[in-house]
Structure 1
Amino acid sequence: MLKYLLSSLCLFCCFHAGAQELRANVSVQAAQLSTGTDRKIFNTLQSALAEFLNNRRWTDDAFTPAERIECNFLLNVTQALGNNTYKASLTIQATRPVFNAGYTTSILNTQDNNIVFKYIEFQPLEFNEQRIVANDPLVSNLTASLAYYIYIILGMDYDSFSPRGGDNFFKKALNIVNNAPDGKDISGWKAFEGNRNRYWLQDNLLNVKFSRFHDVMYQYHRQGLDQMYEDVNKGRAAVMNCLNMLVGIQEEMPNSMLLQVFFNAKSDELLKIFSKAPPQEKVRAGQILATLDIPNANKYQQLR
């Protein structure tokens, strides 16, 4: 009996340690390309991307299948540049379960319009943290971009469960930025290429001026959403406190990419949270949200 139990425990541990971190749904679309383009290559790419995201170990931690992070990657190929090179946009979404609820909350919902990559059908998708750029920068750019966003997702997820839990993953994203592929058609990795790109997102996440944002991620999820099953008012109060902290960040660092990314993921949820608040609290939340999240200001009129 003891031998059986030890054997079973060994099998469980091996399975547990081998479970991957992500449950990524991948879609590659190429509807905008000319009808003469061979679409089969994008079906092959879609399968290769799904394997790359789901079958690779991205952390040293053990995940059970139920703990996998649900995420979606939509690669929309918009232009064929020749020589097996393509321009695309990448939409990334990731969610986190809420304690004691059949509800998942969005932790990331963003779009990157600066994806240029080279892909030859059936070529392996490779990524090495020690050598971000392999033999061809255009080939490496796709896997580097995907790995970057995986580390952003992991960082956001870990931040939501423990204070500053995501720092190591944000540093991994920084390593990719510092060693990113370079070339005349490649963009999104450098500060001077715009104020809403991969460089600025990881910069904000590691910048000491945004340190309170990590407190927001933890308190919003653990002290806010995760508490609402037992005490809605207590959970909502924690979320309101998070909005007040975001006001402080906005005053010190106005028009930041990080706050835009946060509200892209949370605007609909925040509207629902405060739509059932007492009148005075509802109005106050509406005022704060309209100030912090100007692109969605009209949406928050419902709270006034």
Structure 2
Amino acid sequence: MHNRFPLFLLLAGAFLLFCSPAVKAQEIRANVSVVAQQIQGVDKKIFTTLQNSIRDFLNNRHWANDAFTPAERIECNFLLNITGTSGNDSYKASLTIQATRPVYNASYVTSLLNIQDPNVVFRYVEFQQLEFSDTRVVGNDPLNSNLTAILAYYVNIILGLDYDSFSPRGGDVYFKKALNIVNNAPDGKEISGWKAFEGNRNRYWLQDNLLNAKFLRFHDVMYQYHRQGLDLMYDDVIKGRAAILNCLNMLYAIHQDIPNSMLMQTFFLSKGEELLKIFSRATPQEKSRAAELLSQMDVPNAQKYQQMK
């Protein structure tokens, strides 16, 4: 049983431990979709096989150090949209990843990650085994290895964010695993997204921000936002909302030091709509302060936040 869960879930997990034979359930419960509407001249069965292989790869592998019960598995969606092929069984695609976390005493789930990666290239032959090793990220063919390296990278990002939301700095070990994948990533002329110089919004920068000391307070935000904010709201909405407003103040301090970072952008892609709802019933003073902070940190949605006032 892992320590990311508070007491109420640990007790439920203990019950399951004695009642269920499936105590060795994996950590991820991923819904996987592979879409290839733009691809012509390729047997579409290949993409069905690929979809099943990715689902098995994500769901049937142990990713974390702790034992998860079935009830604790992290719900996520992986949508691979294949946009082109250069022949020789190689494909270009974008990958959309979403992951959620349950909120205490509620049927509501909160978004942990909602991100699109446009830089996915890989080679796939029908029925080939999808393989990945932490110690040998790249196999004999970088294009063969790139898809599983990308999938493993995002699983570790999801695990890190999830653990962060349950215990202070709980996700560090998984962010370091993501760093290891970045440092040992497949390399080739068609492969991109792993290097700092390839852009300011890619896999390199997300893990860099998550492990950079300048973003230390972000991990405090992840814990306080979820455990002292959302999880508290069932018992005390006012106190929970105040904790979340305090998190916005902490994020603003980061924003002032490092404006337009990928990590902040990623956070608001996940939380923007939720924050609008949280502060829609706040006091005028809280609404005004939240709108002021959010419109500066999440500029693309500034108009929505201003309408809260």
User: What TM-score do you get using the length of structure 1 for normalisation?
Assistant: 0.95
Residue of structure 2 equivalent to 1:174: 179
SS in 2 for 1:15: coil
Is 2:79 aligned against 1:68? Answer: no
SS in 2 for 1:125: coil
Deviation digits for residues 103-148 of structure 1 (CA, Å, limit 9, x no counterpart):
0000000000000000000000000011000111001000000000
SS in 2 for 1:79: strand
Deviation digits for residues 71-112 of structure 1 (CA, Å, limit 9, x no counterpart):
000000000111000000000000000000000000000000
SS in 1 for 2:132: coil
Cα offset, 1:302, TM superposition: 2.1
SS in 2 for 1:110: strand
SS in 1 for 2:250: helix
4+ residue stretches of structure 1 with deviation over 4 A?
9-14
Q: 1:106 to 1:10 in 2, by over 3 A?
A: closer
Which letter maps to 2:299? Answer: I
Cα offset, 1:37, TM superposition: 2.2
Is 2:99 aligned against 1:94? Answer: yes
Residue from 240, 244, 247 that aligns with 1:235:
240
Residue of structure 2 equivalent to 1:205: 210
SS in 1 for 2:192: coil
Residue from 14, 38, 51 that aligns with 2:43:
38
Which letter maps to 2:44? Answer: R
Which letter maps to 1:45? Answer: L
Aligned partners of 2:93, 2:258: CA distance in 1, in Å? 31
Q: 1:156 to 1:189 in 2, by over 3 A?
A: same
Which letter maps to 2:22? Answer: F
Is 2:22 aligned against 1:15? Answer: yes
Aligned partners of 1:11, 1:211: CA distance in 2, in Å? 39
User: What TM-score do you get using the length of structure 2 for normalisation?
Assistant: 0.93
Cα offset, 1:301, TM superposition: 2.4
Residue of structure 1 equivalent to 2:141: 136
Aligned partners of 2:228, 2:144: CA distance in 1, in Å? 43
Aligned partners of 1:303, 1:11: CA distance in 2, in Å? 48
Is 2:268 aligned against 1:289? Answer: no
Is 2:259 aligned against 1:254? Answer: yes
Aligned partners of 2:21, 2:86: CA distance in 1, in Å? 45
Residue of structure 2 equivalent to 1:28: 34
* 8 Å CA contact retained: 2:17, 2:69: no
Cα offset, 1:14, TM superposition: 6.2
Residue of structure 2 equivalent to 1:85: 90
Aligned partners of 1:15, 1:33: CA distance in 2, in Å? 40
Question: How many residues align structurally?
Answer: 294
Using the aligned pairs only, state the percent identity: 71
Q: 1:12 to 1:130 in 2, by over 3 A?
A: farther
Cα offset, 1:280, TM superposition: 1.6
Aligned partners of 2:153, 2:296: CA distance in 1, in Å? 30
Which letter maps to 2:157? Answer: I
Cα offset, 1:11, TM superposition: 7.6
